Amino acid sequence: MRKEQQIEATSSRRDLLKYAGAGIATAALASRAGAQVAEEANTEPLTLTRKGIDKALNVVNIDLLQEAAAKNYSEGVRSFVFNGSGKQWTLNENQRAWGDYVFTPNRMNGIVRDKIDLSVELLGLKLPHPFIITPFGSHALHHPLGEVATMRGAAKSGGLAAVSSASSASMEDIAKASQAPKWFQIYLDPDEGRSRELLQRARAAGFKAIILTVDAIGQGSSDEYVRLGNPRPWLPYGNYGPGQSPKFKTDLSWKDIEMIRRVSGLPVVVKGITRPEDAVNAVKAGASVVQVSNHGGRALDGTPAAISALPAIADALHGEVPIILDSGIRRGTDVVKALALGARAVAIGRPVMYGLNLGGASGVDSVLSYFRRETVDTTLHCGVDAVSKLGAAHVRRA
Ligand SMILES: Cc1cc2nc3c(=O)[nH]c(=O)nc-3n(C[C@H](O)[C@H](O)[C@H](O)COP(=O)(O)O)c2cc1C
């Protein structure tokens, strides 16, 4: 089944109970049918309260966090979230490719660890750290409070969060969930009128930029997910009316960037770039930020790792616009390699999902704190007192 068709599918309450883990069932039912049904779901052996768990996590590394989260998800949700597309070559490459670059540590520079400055500037926002929560759909798959918990987690450190148009909560509710800055990610609809409406709502709700994701134009499921029969529960989408869901325009073109700018009046981030020529064309078409990404290995299998694509893109752009990198960030060392090779900031996906699932808003904050800790330590070893000073001197090809 193609993604567009899958996303059209709706699920019955029985499907939710059948496929979802206990916590997920509560999330789905609470948002679908209100308190009465949620009470009913609570007769199952739940690990979550009605509001959902909210606790700080001891994040040692993301592999261990994933192992813990794996026990919480149903098989269907796990294969949907963890996997990449096809035979998952790109998903695995997103991890392997970090080893293509090594540090050239630079000691004896008199740097005080606790004074290392993680702040970065993006589209006029002064951010306290370079970790952005990447846009991902249906946060209620992970936690009963969905995006509201994620935004509260992001706000604890004042970080930037991006919000998917395929969210569980409405963009208006998400905007109100915290004071922290937010960007809205759109999947353009074949019907431009529907896209325009979303863009106008995003502006009115106070989002500061629009992310256009350009790589979700075809099959993105893993073989395992297909073998299991497309088993994730289809939760309601907060930005759409009852029974409605996002649709994907496949005939995207550079003209769409101008339309988004005109309708929203906001700067545009183009997400899903892996080719230098496309990065240059995106900027010519009016993009204010380029996001190097292979959708966490969920778009075209066989696309290079994001970190492998970054150096040529940074060269081609000559610093004309900032670059964000996502796909495969699991450690502070990954963050520093990405920044040294030309990214201004990184966006983080699955680690945030696991933090949300295991600890709600506080869990999201714990994941960001883990990245903060490791990024500070790595920057210290590089011999600079600010991540904005990382560059070619700090990393070389292995
Ligand atoms: C379960 C899941 C849902 C996602 N949904 C969206 C989405 O709605 N919009 C989008 O632009 N990207 C989406 N992505 C891609 C992420 O924005 C990002 O590119 C990817 O997760 C980064 O890789 P990482 O998970 O290895 O950090 C999704 C990724 C996952 C794993």
Q: Which ligand 1 atom is nearest residue 293's CA?
A: 19
Asked whether residue 376 is domain-assigned, the answer is yes
> Of the residues 83, 187, 298, 327, which should be mutated to test ligand 1's pocket, given the most ligand atoms within 8 Å of the CB?
298
Asked whether residue 15 is domain-assigned, the answer is no
* Parent domain of 208: 52-397
Ligand 1, residues at Cβ distance < 6 Å? 81, 94, 134-137, 164, 166, 185, 213, 271, 293, 295-296, 298, 326-329, 348-350
Residue 21 pLDDT > 50, yes or no?
A: no
Distance CA 287, CA 305 (A): 22
- Tokens linked to 280: 């240059």
Kindly compute the dihedral angle of the four CA atoms of residues 331, 335, 341, 347, in this order, to the nearest 10 degrees: 120
Q: What spacing in Å lies between the alpha carbon of 50 and ligand 1's midpoint?
A: 26
The highest-confidence range among 16-30, 44-58, 138-152, 217-231, by mean pLDDT, is 138-152
Asked whether residue 35 is domain-assigned, the answer is no
Query: Which whole number is the average pLDDT over 362-388?
Result: 98
Q: Which ligand 1 atom is nearest residue 272's CA?
A: 19
- Tokens linked to 59: 């994040």
Q: Which ligand 1 atom is nearest residue 166's CA?
A: 8
Percent of residues, the chain, with pLDDT higher than 70: 87
Choose between 361 and 219: higher pLDDT: 361
Asked whether residue 12 is domain-assigned, the answer is no
Asked whether residue 120 is domain-assigned, the answer is yes
Yes or no: say if 121 and 129 are a contact pair by the CB < 8 Å rule. no
Yes or no: say if 212 and 269 are a contact pair by the CB < 8 Å rule. yes
Q: What spacing in Å lies between the alpha carbon of 348 and ligand 1's midpoint?
A: 8
Percent of residues, the chain, with pLDDT higher than 90: 85
> Of the residues 232, 260, 295, which should be mutated to test ligand 1's pocket, given the most ligand atoms within 8 Å of the CB?
295
Q: What spacing in Å lies between the alpha carbon of 108 and ligand 1's midpoint?
A: 40
Lowest average pLDDT, out of 36-40, 158-162, 190-194, 334-338, goes to: 36-40
Backbone dihedral angles phi then psi of residue 235, each to the nearest 5 degrees: -80, 160
Q: What spacing in Å lies between the alpha carbon of 133 and ligand 1's midpoint?
A: 10
Q: Which ligand 1 atom is nearest residue 80's CA?
A: 1
- At 51, is the pLDDT very low, low, confident or very high (cuts 50, 70, 90)? confident
Question: Among 51, 30, 79, 23, which Cα is nearest to 235's?
Answer: 30
**What's the pLDDT score for residue 232?**
84
Q: What spacing in Å lies between the alpha carbon of 202 and ligand 1's midpoint?
A: 20
Catalytic residues: 295
Asked whether residue 220 is domain-assigned, the answer is yes
- At 233, is the pLDDT very low, low, confident or very high (cuts 50, 70, 90)? confident
- Which residue lies with its CA nearest to atom 3 of ligand 1? 136
- At 368, is the pLDDT very low, low, confident or very high (cuts 50, 70, 90)? very high
Predicted confidence (pLDDT) per residue in 109-133, tens digit? 999 999 999 999 999 999 999 999 9
Predicted confidence (pLDDT) per residue in 286-344, tens digit? 999 999 999 999 999 999 999 999 999 999 999 999 999 999 999 999 999 999 999 99
Query: Which whole number is the average pLDDT over 27-40?
Result: 29
**What's the pLDDT score for residue 34?**
27
**What's the pLDDT score for residue 50?**
56
> Of the residues 73, 136, 325, which should be mutated to test ligand 1's pocket, given the most ligand atoms within 8 Å of the CB?
136
Lowest average pLDDT, out of 5-14, 265-274, 292-301, goes to: 5-14
The CA-atom distances, in angstroms, between 178 and each of 132, 158, 172, 174 are 15, 10, 11, 8
Q: What spacing in Å lies between the alpha carbon of 94 and ligand 1's midpoint?
A: 13
**What's the pLDDT score for residue 6?**
36
Residue 256 pLDDT > 50, yes or no?
A: yes
Query: Which whole number is the average pLDDT over 391-398?
Result: 98
CATH of the domain at 318: 3.20.20.70
This model's pTM is above 0.95: no
Asked whether residue 42 is domain-assigned, the answer is no
Q: What spacing in Å lies between the alpha carbon of 26 and ligand 1's midpoint?
A: 23
**What's the pLDDT score for residue 19?**
27
Burial of 112 (0-12, 13-18, 19+ CB in 10 A): exposed
Yes or no: say if 263 and 196 are a contact pair by the CB < 8 Å rule. yes
Q: Which ligand 1 atom is nearest residue 137's CA?
A: 8
> Of the residues 134, 150, 292, which should be mutated to test ligand 1's pocket, given the most ligand atoms within 8 Å of the CB?
134
Q: Which residues contact 174 (CB under 8 A, 6 or more apart)?
A: 147, 148, 151, 163, 167, 182, 205, 238
| Mean of the per-residue pLDDT values of the chain | 89
The CA-atom distances, in angstroms, between 302 and each of 4, 64, 81, 277, 311 are 21, 27, 19, 19, 18
Q: What's the structural domain count of the chain?
A: 1
Asked whether residue 234 is domain-assigned, the answer is yes
